[in-house]
Amino acid sequence: MSNIIDGKAMAAALVEETAIAAAKFNDAHGIKPGLAVVLVGEDPASAVYVRNKVKQATNAGLNSIEHRLPADTSQQTLNQLVDDLNNDAKVHGILVQLPLPEHLDEEHIIQAIDPAKDVDGFHPLNAGALATGQQALVPCTPLGCLIMLQRTLGDLSGKHAVVIGRSNIVGKPMAALLLQANCTVTTVHSRTQDIVGICSQADIIVAAVGRANFVQADWVKTGAVVIDVGINAIEQDGKRKLVGDVDFAQVAPKAAAITPVPGGVGPMTIACLMKNTLTAANQQMQS
């Protein structure tokens, strides 16, 4: 049996589960959970992400509302749009695709989104709620990783999880989620000494570094589960190719289970955006 975790299949299952719950929400409240996606500018990678998000929103039975703004949009115009979406009862989740063009203040926009509609989970109130174990909207990528781990391993209690990277969008919330799931968590980063020694003790490795093929076979204990968050474009045989942070060919034979890139964490991230929109919609109806 293959030890490759099929992120596409898990994401399809999660979207299906969300669609069933979204239909129940519609029956109960006479409205579909609504997701507003805002794209500023023409960044090709962002345009692909937004297209995939809008497609999956429809598959998940959500009302998908798209706002495309030109690259020279002013801060004031974007602030106004976010404000309007905060006050729109049809909108339960707001996602402003990052990165924004340089002249726009990303931190300001993250904090302008109503925390109850913050389906990216980047607002400091949601980050604080997650860190203190309260009800929070959780960033989609680490949430997707957690669900993949739980659906692969079941109960994570007592596992030693090593998270490589400490960004606000992946590493830190990932460590908080694994701690909540009763793992023993070590976070390593660019200043850590003996990363290899620490990783080689791990039952679970989550790599979120942004360096192609960074994690090598001798870093990984036989039977560990490896989640590769990285997305790195490299040139191979004159062609552009996407690879993760883990040297997949070398590490896969040692791992009990491993996510591929592409087809692992990426699809689950988008599926979790749909799940978060439903969660946000349900929470808004309860409050």
Contact between 272 and 147 under an 8 Å Cβ cutoff? The reply is yes
How far is CA 82 from each of CA 76, 102, 267, rounded to the nearest angstrom? 10, 18, 26
Residue 266 makes contact with ligand NAP by CB under 6 A: yes
The residue from 120, 203, 228, 247 that is catalytic is 120
Stretch that binds ligand NAP, among 75-83, 90-98, 151-159, 190-198 (CB under 6 A): 190-198
Q: How far is the CB of 69 from ligand NAP (least distance, A)?
A: 22
Residue 202 makes contact with ligand NAP by CB under 6 A: no
Residue 260 makes contact with ligand NAP by CB under 6 A: no
Nearest to 4 by CA among 246, 226, 214: 226
Residue 190 makes contact with ligand NAP by CB under 6 A: yes
Question: Which CB atom, from 69 or from 169, has the smaller least distance to ligand NAP?
Answer: 169
Alpha-carbon gap, residue 56 to 119, rounded angstroms: 15
Alpha-carbon gap, residue 145 to 225, rounded angstroms: 11
Question: Which CB atom, from 80 or from 168, has the smaller least distance to ligand NAP?
Answer: 168
Q: How far is the CB of 25 from ligand NAP (least distance, A)?
A: 25
Q: Which residues contact 138 (CB under 8 A, 6 or more apart)?
A: 121, 126, 130, 173, 177, 276
Q: How far is the CB of 76 from ligand NAP (least distance, A)?
A: 28
Known active-site residue 83:
no
Q: In b/e form, how buried is each residue of 177-195, taking b as 16+ CB within 10 angstroms?
A: bbeebebbbbbbeeeeeeb
Q: Which residues of the chain form contacts with ligand NAP (CB under 6 A)? A: 141, 164-167, 169-171, 188-191, 195, 208-211, 229-232, 265-266, 269
Q: Which residues are catalytic?
A: 53, 97, 120
